[in-house]
Amino acid sequence: MLAALSIFAIVCYLLASGLLARPLFGGGTTTLARLALGIATAAVLAHATGLLAMHGGALDLHFFAALSLVACMVSALTLLVNLTRPVATLGVIVFPLSALLLWVDSFLAPSTAPVSMDWHIKLHVTVALLAFGVLSIAAAMAILLAIQERALRHRHLGPWLSALPPLTLTESLLFRLIGAGFVLLSLTLLTGILFVDNLFGQHLMHKTVLSIIAWLVFGALLYGRWRHGWRGRSAVNLTLIGMGVLVLAFFGSKFVLEVILHRVVD
């Protein structure tokens, strides 16, 4: 049953991303995009159902389970963003990655069990995952923005470029997402201070420091946008730098311990 759910979700993710990619090659319609988003919705529902069943309805934060959970959340947030902004092209980046991470978690990763957590730790973790998810979409938007700006600068015009959202819409949405992610990241640090014992202890030191660095990068970007009108390449570079630091904060030590050293940690 779990394997069937995972396979169904993976196929739907890939089918949706393929349909969304068609306009980039000169084909596709608005109806096709809606169909793709509907298929992606089925993929997210199957993915979420599979995660709940696979991990007993609890938060499993071991490396591969956490990656699959984040992928499901980012895909769901991509669908929510598309309710108000026509940026379905994001799915071409997000949905295949979700399919890959779900496949690894379902069929390749070692079996793990969720660790019991108090409600306040669950709150902290949930806010942290939301922050990571929103800023992940911002990073994907930054990649789209960089592609658009490079194509326009070098006059590499084609049907794929017209299929992307307008440059001003991409940039506006990028900063909206960064603003929302910055607020959530601030709440993550605040709930960590309030709820996590010994936040600067040895086990959490690198995560805390890297999260603060990422918070400073995104804060500096928002301030630069407000005060100096930062945009374009500066915005893209700082967004990707901040996201890279956040990836190290969330998954760096887990990768080393669980994948390289083969030690399953809580």
Write out pLDDT tens, residues 205-216: 788 889 999 999
Q: Tell me the backbone φ, ψ of residue 69, rounded to 5 degrees.
A: -65, -45
pLDDT in tens, 26-83: 655 667 888 999 999 999 999 999 988 876 667 788 888 889 999 999 999 999 988 7
Q: Which residue has the higher pLDDT, 196 or 190?
A: 190
Q: How confident is the model at residue 169 (pLDDT cuts 50, 70, 90)?
A: confident
Neighbours of 69 (CB within 10 A): 22
* DSSP one-letter string for 208-237: HHHHHHHHHHHHHHHHHHHHH---HHHHHH
Taking 90 as the threshold, does the pLDDT of residue 95 lie above it? Answer: yes
pTM of the model: 0.87
pLDDT in tens, 106-150: 998 877 777 777 778 888 889 999 999 999 999 999 998 888 888
Neighbours of 265 (CB within 10 A): 14
Percentage of the chain exceeding pLDDT 70: 85
> In 3D, which of 95, 98, 184, 173 has the Cα closest to residue 141?
173
Taking 60 as the threshold, does the pLDDT of residue 265 lie above it? Answer: no
> In 3D, which of 170, 171, 169, 175 has the Cα closest to residue 222?
175
Q: In this predicted structure, what is the pLDDT of residue 81?
A: 87
pLDDT (average), residues 6-30? 84
HSE value, Cβ hemisphere, 13 Å, CA-based, for 24: 17
Q: In this predicted structure, what is the pLDDT of residue 205?
A: 77
Per the listing, tokens 């890939």 go with 14
